[in-house]
Structure 1
Amino acid sequence: MTPERRPDRSESFGEALLGEVLDRAHELPPDLIAPLVTAVVARLGGRHPQVLLQDYGQLLLVPLTGERLTQGEPQVIDDSAAGRCFLDAVPVELLGADGVRIHLPLLDGGDQVGVMSVTLDGIDDDVRRLLLRISGLVADLLVTKHGYSDLFFGVRRREPMSVAAEIQWSLLPPLAMIMPRVAVAGILEPAYDVAGDSFDYALNGDILHVVMIDAMGHGLNAATLATVAIGAYRHARRLGIGLSASYAFMDRAVAQQFGPEHFVTAQMIQLDTTTGRMRWVNAGHPPPILVRDHRVVRRLVAPTTLPVGLGGPEPPVSGLRLEHGDRVLCFTDGLVEEHVRGGEEFGENQLIDHVNRLEATGRGIRAVTRSLSHTLKRARGGHTTDDATLLMVEWRG
Structure 2
Amino acid sequence: MASILLGENVPDLREALIRLLRRAGHEVSIAGTADDTLTAALAGPFDLVLMNPALPGSDGLDGLEVCRRLRAVAATARLPIMMLSVRQCPADVAAADAAGADDYLGKPFDNATLLARVATLVARGEPAPAADVDLGLLRAVREVMAASHLMQADEVAPTLDRALSRLGMGAVIFLIDHDQVVLRALPVRGREPSEPEPVHEGSLPGRAYMLVRPEPDPQRRGRLWVPLLDGTERFGVIRFEVPGAAGAYDVRWQQRCELIAEIVAHLIASKMSGGDILKVARRVEPMTVAAELMWQMLPPLTSSHQRLALSAIVQPCYDVGGEGYDYAVDGDTAWLVLLGAVGRGLGAAVAGAVALSAIRAARRAGGDLPEQVRAADEHLIEQCGGSRHARFVTGMLARFDLESGLVRYINAGSPLPVIFRDADLLGVVTGGARVPLGVRAEGEVRVGEKVLCRGDRMLLHTAGVTEARAADGSLFGAARLTRLAADCEQARLPAPETLRRLALAVAEHRGGPPSGDAAMVLVEWSPAAARRTVVGPPYPDSAGEAEAPS
TM-score (norm 1): 0.92
In structure 2, the residue matched to 1:117 is: 239
How far the C-alpha of 1:174 sits from its partner, in A, is 0.5
Where do residues 354-373 of structure 1 align in structure 2 (5 Å cutoff)?
354-373=484-503
- Percent identity of the aligned residues? 32
Structure 2 partner of 1:147: 273
Question: Contact 1:75/1:83 (CA < 8 Å) preserved in 2?
Answer: yes
1:89-143 per-residue CA deviation (whole Å, 9 max, x = no partner) reads 111111335x421011111121111111121242133332222111111000100
2:215 matched to which residue of 1?
92
Does residue 320 (structure 1) correspond to residue 450 (structure 2)? The answer is yes
Deviation at 1:389, TM superposition (A): 1.1
Closer, same or farther: CA 265–61 of 1 in aligned 2, 3 Å:
same
Give, in whole Å, the separation in 1 of the partners of 2:451 and 2:143.
48
Select which of 72, 75, 82 maps to 2:197.
75
Letter aligned with residue 251 of structure 1: D
Looking at structure 2, the residues matched to 46 and 12 of structure 1 have their Cα atoms a distance apart, in angstroms, of 14
SS at 2:173 equivalent: strand
Aligned residue in 2 for 1:64: 186
- Asked if 1:374 is matched to 2:504, the reply is yes
2:141 matches 1:23 = no
Q: Report the CA distance between 1:239 and its aligned residue.
A: 0.7
- Separation (CA, whole Å) in 2 of partners of 1:66 and 1:17: 18
Unaligned 5+ segments in structure 1 are 1-9
Out of 250, 270, 273, the residue aligned to residue 399 of structure 2 is: 270
1:96 and 1:246 map into 2 onto residues whose CA distance is 55
Matches within 5 A, 1:29-68: 29-47=152-170, 49-68=171-190
Aligned residues of 1:250 and 1:309 also touching (Cα < 8 A): yes
Alignment of 1:278-317 (within 5 A): 278-313=407-442, 314-317=444-447
Distance 1:230 1:66 in 2: 39
How far 1:70 moved relative to its partner? 5.1
What code does the residue aligned with 2:424 have?
Answer: R
Measure the CA separation in 1 of the matches of 2:419 and 2:451: 11
Change (3 A) 1:274 1:41: farther
Shift of 1:186: 1.2
Q: Does the 8 A contact of 1:181 with 1:274 survive in 2? A: no
Unaligned runs of 5+ in 2: 1-131, 528-550
Partners in 2 of 1:87 and 1:170 — Cα distance?
25
- Kindly state the Cα deviation for residue 196 of structure 1 after the two structures are TM-superposed: 1.4
Deviations 1:295-317 (A, max 9, x none): 22111121311111111143321
Cα 1:43–1:265 change in 2 (3 A) is: same
Distance 1:39 1:301, change over 3 A: same
Larger Rg: 2
Taking the aligned partners of 1:326 and 1:286, their CA distance within structure 2 comes to 19
* Residues 319-372 of structure 1, C-alpha deviations (whole Å, 9 max, x = no match): 222222211111110111232232233321222222223332221111111101
Distance 2:336 2:378 in 1: 20
Structure 1's 298 and 101: CA in aligned 2 closer, same or farther, altered over 3 A? same
8 Å CA contact retained: 1:196, 1:218: yes
Task: Name the CA shift for 1:68/1:268 in 2 (closer, same or farther; >3 Å).
Answer: farther
- Provide the C-alpha distance between the structure 2 equivalents of 1:84 and 1:338, rounded to a whole number of angstroms: 28
Aligned residue identity for 1:239: A
CA positional deviation for 1:69: 5.3
- Structure 1 residues 294 and 383, CA gap change in structure 2 (3 angstroms): farther
Deviates more, 1:141-150 or 1:180-189: 180-189
Alignment of 1:210-289 (within 5 A): 210-259=336-385, 261-289=390-418
Does the CA contact (< 8 Å) of 2:399 and 2:408 recur in 1?
Answer: yes
Tell me if the contact between 1:62 and 1:73 (Cα under 8 Å) persists in the aligned partners: yes
Q: Distance in 2 between the 1:16 and 1:128 partners?
A: 18
Greater alpha carbon shift after TM alignment, 114-123 vs 249-258: 114-123
